Amino acid sequence: MKKTAALLAVLLGVSSSPGLAQTDEDLINDAQTPGDVLIHSMGYDRKSYSPLEEINKSNIHRLVPIWSTSLMNQSGELAAPAIHDGVLYAINGSWTFAIDLETGRQIWRTPVVLEEGARRRSSFNRGGPVIYEGRLFRVTVDNHVLALDMETGEELWNQKFADGAEGYYATGAPMVANGVLISGMSGGESTTRGFLDGWDPATGEKLWRRYTIPGPGEPGHETWPADSDAYLYGGAPTWRTGSYDPELDLVYWGTGNAEPYDPATRGGLDSLYASTVLAIRPKTGEIHCYYQYTPNDVYDVDGIDEQVLAEIEVDGEMRKVMIQANKNGFLYTVDRTDCSLIAAHPYVYVNWATHVDLETGRPVLTDLYR
């Protein structure tokens, strides 16, 4: 029997507000406006926390489904929806939808027209859309980033940014930071070279590209084999959406594994900027600083997951930090002004390293890793 994906709304009540254009200030305040979800994770800090108080432990037993609607897709539904002014915007590999939040009625739907031979993936779009200035932005698995009119679903612009025949595809949510739309890529297991792109949200003009593996003459290129083109196929994909600090005007974006997994093919070197968090200027793509969680990553532990932003007291001083529970087993706290390591503690049993040296920022390896 064919499985039909459905969207299930579980609500106690819905309020709406006048439909106004979504500004940079609205994105900054997304976490404090629970009636709307404009960006992935409900805010730039990536805490995925809602201040709503209407649903709590005293009434959660009263939650019941009030509507469901088919998303007309035969693969998995992993993308979180966006919400604005009583309308829910959902995406998958086949469609983009606008749905009335109270009734589940489809307001419009726009098909995704994939290039011939493009791969459909059940994990398509692990993020979702982003809303900004009356437009809905998304990526498609065949390496397109596009803008739709929120009112009608009409496509406003569409840009192709990579070739699927070379192993690239796209699954992550884009983000808007300081007026620039930023999108990543997938395919780190396919001997690709990772990158981030910056776009003009109004026109679709490409503003910059930042490769996550440095080329000849760039800082970090020495962490790849000399006199080799290994950097062109070394991975470091960018499929998980970044975080953003508007005060520092820095985007924090994690990268995935180095490729190939066998470290001998990469000279046993650090393989920057794989398994790393990059602090990037959104207007230019310039790298401000970085921290590499796992130099010479051989286990595909990545550095891709959410960089949660917080301000905490460290030795009597308030510090701007980013926190990540890395797949390598350590929970990291990194100063987000300069990417220096503050703390790293195991949160599960770890046998590949004894600890992380706070002076060097590097893991101290056991014989299992050497």
The HSE-up count of residue 61 (CA atoms within 13 Å, CB side) is: 2
The secondary structure of 145-210 as a DSSP string is EEEEETTT--EEEEEE-S-GGGT-B--SPPEEETTEEEE--B-TTTT-B-EEEEE-TTT--EEEEE
Q: Judge whether 251 and 198 are in contact, CB under 8 Å.
A: no
User: Encoding tokens for residue 281?
Assistant: 């200027």
Tell me whether strands 317-325 and 330-335 are parallel, antiparallel or unpaired. antiparallel
Question: Residue 138 pairs with which residues in a beta bridge?
Answer: 146
Cα–Cα distance for residue pair 47/55, rounded to 1 Å: 18
Catalytic sites, residue numbers: 300
DSSP 8-class letter at 28? H
Q: Judge whether 150 and 84 are in contact, CB under 8 Å.
A: yes
In the numeric block, the tokens 């308030």 are attached to 318
User: Encoding tokens for residue 328?
Assistant: 């390598």
User: Encoding tokens for residue 295?
Assistant: 């130099």
Short-list 304, 259, 237, 295, CA closest to 277: 304
Short-list 118, 114, 26, 126, CA closest to 76: 126
Q: Give the SS3 label for residue 72.
A: coil
DSSP 8-class letter at 305? S
Neighbours of 60 (CB within 10 A): 9
Burial letters for 35-58: b for 16+ Cβ neighbours within 10 Å, e otherwise? ebbbbbbbbbbbbeeeeeeeeeee
In the numeric block, the tokens 């309308």 are attached to 87
Burial letters for 91-110: b for 16+ Cβ neighbours within 10 Å, e otherwise? bbbbbbbbbebbebebebeb
